[in-house]
Amino acid sequence: MTSSAFAYIDGVLHAERVSAVSLAEQFGTPLYVYSRAALTRAWHAYADACQGRRATVHVAVKANSNLAVLNVFARLGAGFDIVSGGELARVLAAGGKAENTVFSGVGKRADEMRDALIAGVKCFNVESIPELDRLNAVAAALGKKAPVSLRVNPDVDAKTHPYISTGLKSNKFGVAFDEARAAYHAAAAMPHLEVVGIDCHIGSQITEIAPYLDAVDKLLDLVEQLEADGIVLGHIDVGGGLGITYQDETPPEIGAFVRTVLERIEARGHGQREVYFEPGRSLVGNAGVMLTRVEFLKPGAEKNFAIVDAAMNDLARPAMYEAFHAIEPVVQAPPGSAPAGVYDVVGPVCESGDWLGRERRLAVSPGELLAVYSAGAYGFAMSSNYNTRPRAAEVMVDGDQVHVVRVREEVAQLFANETILPD
């Protein structure tokens, strides 16, 4: 349910060599805690499997866009996968390079395209004919040629939550497989576009390799058709989406996944093409926990509630996806303690959907700390200020060192850009 960077030492949860109790006391709660060692290990699992092959790794910024997290990957030589102009700005501020950045996303604005072209991004993953037309016009105005890859929707079932499945006919993403050949011919005819690759992304939190292989086979069939038409593609982007263990999932080991995909591409006779991987969750998900403190225990007629100071605005995944996150006391109960009770762990936000975990067996008292595991992906990145709640602080642990990588917001900041009507 989390990486080995988070472990109990003498009954107290530690992030690497730092006590979670001391982190909560020093920086308050709710608090996001990341492990540099866990980030680095996950990166090397991908990079080592790619070594010696024409394969590169582009970190999906949307999973965790903290500058320090991105900087850890930039120092390791990562490329990046972005879905907005704001994410491009973050990558550059974190030390990433535009020429190693792929710009994905279904609704790119003209100004975002312009900024990305000026910066010199590696490729635009384009998802529709209207987007091709817009990018061609923006590139023409700048006197440039935009490198493009079409995101093809292979109609493959990733067997994941419907909100994070992206490769079916019913999803908003990508060019329909049956229309992709014509779309490539349209792109090749546009004077300010340079067709350089093909892309797909079938979903998120995928725990089997088979859907990837199905998608790769369909992509390669299309690549071969296009090559016969005279359109040669230099790279194949297989997207991201590899899952992690939140509860009892058993996703494939990262290295085995990468090698299996590359071997399929090579077996089909396409080993000369560069392969892009775009992992997000599998890099950062289990490299982070969220610490929260119990405010009240509230018994009820049908349920007992542990009311904590973190809420759905801090971690949206349970409310949005009914997602499971393991929740455990930061300090383990000593032998002979009072028996555990069964609680719904809920926050103070004024919504019935404000919960972090349901029916959890916990030995806990008011004032005690809980750790919400597997919170490094789509945790802080999806947080909000709902109920005028300042967003949490973020810290990164590096051995026995702690770095504040985002200070906690203050209430006054939340309305500093608002005004009231004049008298």
Active site residues: 350
Q: Is the preceding omega at residue 30 within 30 degrees of 0, hence cis?
A: yes
SS (H, E, C) 269-332: CCCCCEEEECCCHHHHHHHEEEEEEEEEEECCCCCCEEEECCCCCCCCHHHHHCCCCCEEECEC
Distances, alpha carbon 397 to alpha carbons 6, 11, 15, 136, 301, in Å: 10, 19, 7, 45, 42
- Tokens 């850009």 locate to 417
Q: How far apart are the C-alpha atoms of 422 and 209, rounded to whole Å? A: 60
The two structure tokens encoding residue 167: 């490769």
Residues forming a β-bridge with 408: none
Q: How far apart are the C-alpha atoms of 262 and 279, rounded to whole Å? A: 15
Phi-psi group of 407: left, alpha or beta (phi > 0 → left; psi -120 to 50 → alpha; rest → beta): beta
Alpha helices in 365-420 (DSSP H): 411-414
CB 163 within 8 A of CB 320: yes
Sign (positive/negative) of CA torsion 349, 352, 358, 364?
A: positive
Q: How far apart are the C-alpha atoms of 185 and 312, rounded to whole Å? A: 46
Which residues, at least 6 apart from 324, have a Cβ–Cβ distance to it below 8 Å?
Answer: 246, 247, 318, 357
Q: How far apart are the C-alpha atoms of 331 and 172, rounded to whole Å? A: 45
CB 151 within 8 A of CB 123: no
Distances, alpha carbon 207 to alpha carbons 8, 158, 251, 312, in Å: 27, 9, 4, 26
- Tokens 């770095």 locate to 403
Task: Look at residue 341 and give its three-state secondary structure.
Answer: strand
